[in-house]
Chains A and B, each alone.
Chain A
Amino acid sequence: MTATLRDRLVSVRSKNAGPFTVTFDLFFPDAAAFDDAVAAKIVTPERVAELYGLSPAQVLVFNFAPASAIKVSIPRAVPGGGPGDSDVAGGQQFAPLLSLPA
């Protein structure tokens, strides 16, 4: 089995940031694990874009040391709760990130 991002995380949050954006917070167990993940460039706009069928310019990635977390924000496929939506609060859209090779 290839190691994945999931193996490195202790917690994940996935929420809407307003009706047009969904944001993922990926929490690492401590500062060392966070620093390792950042240095290894596991989460980049390019990799996220490929996973979700977006262009890298649509993906925001922030390294957030105070919470040993990486934040990823992407546009929602459709506005929250509108026609064609399948995840009104954006709660499950993080799952593909877990399989990023790490």
Chain B
Amino acid sequence: MTPDDASISFLSIGSVGTGFLESSLERGLALNPAFIGADAGSVDGGPNALAGVAPGWPEINFYRDLSILIKGAVTAGIPLLVGSCATSGRDWGVDWFADMARRAAKEFGLSFNLAKIYAEIEPDLVVERLEAGRLHALEPAPAYQAADIRRSTRIVGVMGAEPFLAALEQGADVVLAGRATDTAIFAAIPLSRGFDPGLSWHAAKIAECGSSCAEPRRRLDVLHVEIGQDSFVVQPLNDGIRCTPFSVAAHQLHEVADPYTMVEPGWITDLRNVSYEPASDRAVRVSGAKAEPAPYTVKLEGVERVGAQRMFMCSVRDPTILENLDGWVGGIQGDIRSRCEELLGPGGYERCTVTTRIYGRNGTMGEREPIKSFEGHEAFLVVDVIADDDATCEAATSVIWYAFMHAKSPGWRGGTTVAWPFPQSIHKLGDVFRFNVHHVIEVDDPLETFRIELEEVQA
């Protein structure tokens, strides 16, 4: 397929919720882009967003960006594609963003067709794929058998380009998608218009974080991308920053394990022979990516509950403790175990998982810290306790905190009391979750696991 047009251009903002300059969006819209794309998702913040504890940003942050994008796109008569609504792309986040879209319609007096694309997948379907040999592990992957799948709090499939295109074909002006690959948001329309798949996917990769591919590093802002027949050109819309061959190439490394191979649903893109050349003093021309169709798979993201968690923190300035931190911590284990048993019955302590991080020594790196010796005049401890239920967690944490507070100092006949900074010494963190899957499933159709709903939003 060859494109009808010589080129296609689009705008990307960095991330819904982190902000962008409205003046940059207006400058971009004056260049007549074919669409605006915006990613709203990330797994960097851990499992809580997908688990349902909290999205990555408050409503005021999301609404500011989303409402300005809707106003810009609908007024210009071009589609707005938003992926991974509310950080995790769970169904609740799509509905939450849809509420904000309706609010924006009222605020700005706009009417438009809204598509919601839901990405959650029932455990039964995943078990069926497992049993059919159609579930495949990525590297590195945890064990993921039927029991693990059924223990999941929530599972989403990460959509490719096709659900976005299906929503547009059904007449959507604004697409609010659940979990999507960052790149599918930007590659979908160029692919459908016949532009080279390698250029389309690579341009989408460079565009995924807006002006993140420009320098010097400032707050994220709007990026303009134009895909032609044999190259694409990127430039930021804020005069204070510019794209250079270095800054754009550096983005190819961003948050990927392998910078030369991009795997997307239905496509694999080879980035080994890519070149980056200046197109102006602030724009960069990129060429050379080659994409090939690949067996269609959908990556899964899922989380499971591990337990209830509480934490406390304290600091130590006593040099006799600092000289023998392990001896000091080890010396209280017997007291903790016996007191937990008094309160919780036999095995009470063993029902808890306790993690002690000693900052100043290996708090940041844990077991991976290559410097094993401790030097310094103070240390800071963060201790967390996880148990199946919060009542057990509460009792055990109180015991462990009290033991640390009055632990015997190795160098004194008695002990010294540790320091803690706030009168509320123990903090309830609530349910704790973990990501439990790094696999893909084969699908019969790219749309199989996604559900599209259209609605007319009135001013």
Contacts and interface: CB of A to CB of B under 8 A. Distances in A.
Interface in B358-404: 363-370, 386
Most chain B CB within 10 A, of A58, A82, A88, is at: A82
Interface string B245-274: 110011011111111100000000000001
Contacts of A27: 250
A82 B301 CA distance: 14
B347 interface: no
B337 interface: no
A38 to B, nearest CB: 15
Interface in B201-255: 245-246, 249-250, 252-255
Given A80-B44, A83-B432, A96-B368, A64 B259 contact: yes
Given A23-B257, A60-B257, A83-B432, A92 B250 contact: no
A85 B366 CA distance: 8
A79 B252 contact: no
Nearest to B369: A96
B46 to A, nearest CB: 2
A53 B432 contact: no
Contacts of A80: 43-44, 46-47, 435
B76 interface: no
B403 to A, nearest CB: 20
Interface residues of B, number: 47
5 contacts: A64-B252, A66-B275, A71-B253, A88-B45, A93-B365
Contacts of A17: 255-257
B249 A20 contact: no
B364 A25 contact: no
A25 B366 CA distance: 21
Contacts of A75: 140
A60 B368 CA distance: 17
Contact of B43 (A18, A68, A86, A93): A18
B253 A79 contact: no
A16 B255 contact: yes
Contacts of A64: 249, 252-253, 259
Contacts of A25: 250, 253
A23 B48 contact: no
B23 interface: no
B249 A67 contact: yes
A77 B367 contact: yes
A82 B431 CA distance: 11
Given A88-B44, A88-B46, A18 B438 contact: yes
B253 A13 contact: yes
A20 B140 contact: yes
B231 to A, nearest CB: 15
Interface string A72-90: 0101011111111111110
**For the complex of A and B, 4 pairs with smallest distance between CB atoms:** A81-B46, A82-B434, A66-B249, A73-B257
Contacts of B357: 86
